[in-house]
Amino acid sequence: MKNKNFWIAFIVVFIVLEIMNYIIHAVILGSTYAMENVAKAFRTMEDMQSKMWVMYIVDLVWSFFFVFLFVKGYENKGVMEGVRYGIYIGLFVQFVAAYAQYVVYPLEYSLTFQWFIYGFIESIILGIVTALIYKPAAAAPAAA
C-alpha cells in the first residue's frame, strides 16, 4: 500500500460510490422507498439520517477493500480487468446482499432485483474506475 495510486484509487472509488449511491437510492429509488408498504420495513428518515455517519464509515471500509482486493489480483490488463473484477464483486457482494435482504425484510421482489442490478452496475463502474487509476509502482532498476 506504499503506492500513491492505491490511495488515489481508494479515495476516488469512495467518492464515486457515494455519488452513485445517492443517484440510486435518493433519485432512482427514492419514490419506491417512500411507498407505505416499503417504508414500514425501514427506520424513519430522521432516524436513518442520524446514523448516516455509520454508513460513511462502512463505505470507506468497503472502498478500501474493493481497491485492496483489486490490487492483490492485479494483472495489468487494462479496463477489461476492471470490468471483470466489477462483475466478480457485483455477483459476490450485490447478489448475495440483495437476495439475503429479500429473505429477511418484507420487501417486494422488484426492489430486491433493482438493488442487485443497480449494485451490479455500480460494481462494474467502480472496477473500471479502479483499473483506470491503479498502476503499480515502477520497480527500481537493478544495480549493475
| pLDDT tens profile 73-119 | 999 999 999 999 999 999 999 999 999 999 999 888 999 999 999 99
Nine cell digits for residue 138? 515502477
* Arithmetic mean of pLDDT, 21-44: 92
CA distance 143 to 35: 67
* Confidence (pTM): 0.89
Give residue-wise pLDDT tens across range 34-44. 998 888 888 88
Residue 142 binned pLDDT confidence (cut-offs 50, 70, 90):
low
* Arithmetic mean of pLDDT, 16-37: 94
Decide which of 51 and 139 is more confident.
Answer: 51
Nine cell digits for residue 78? 487494462
For residue 106, CA distances in Å to 1, 51, 125 come to 42, 22, 30
Residue at grid coordinates 445517492:
22
In 3-state terms the chain splits into helix, strand, coil percentages (rounded to 5) of: 80, 0, 20
CA distance 125 to 17: 9
